[in-house]
Amino acid sequence: MPGLLDKSLATNAIGLVLPTIKKAMREGVVKRRHLAIVIVDNEICEPISPLVEYFIGGKKNWKHPYDKIAWDKIHLSIRTGFDSGYVISQAPHLLLDYDPPYAGSVADEGFIVACSGVQSYFDEMFARMIAAACKALCQEKMAIEVLPSGRGTVGVNPDLE
């Protein structure tokens, strides 16, 4: 049985965060308007296939292969079980020669989101936002489709409704 996090839900999560990403690009908060986003389910299946790959800025205009860098961040997180930023700052002994020296992947309880294209701390911020959206949309899907009430109330205090 497939998990709640599927291609459609992952795409919707990116869609929820995309206005913030584009605003940061428009307003010059980040240094370029190029970004690769990759989301994978962390069930170790070979070959690893993405739930979603999404690109901003047209790959032909990219200064670097941001999609490859995002995938390298994914592989680092699969291998270590940690966010790439954590490995770089707190566990550099886990790095291998070919690992990217950049933050930007978030290993979040069974799935990984990686972003590459802007400053690595903003890559990581965008990845965290997308991961949070994935989890929230999974909770909503569970509340509507899985729980008997179908009311969309998982994790909600009924006294606040």
pLDDT in tens, 17-30: 999 999 999 999 99
Q: Assign domain 7-149 to its CATH architecture.
A: 2-Layer Sandwich (3.30)
* pTM of the entire predicted model: 0.88
Mean pLDDT of 40-50: 75
With 80 as the cut, is the pLDDT of residue 31 above it?
Answer: yes
Give the separation between CA 122 and CA 18, rounded to whole angstroms. 13
pLDDT tens digit string along 110-153?
899 999 999 999 999 999 999 999 999 999 988 888 776 655 54
Any idea where the domains of the chain sit in the sequence? Answer: 7-149
**DSSP summary character for residue 26:** H
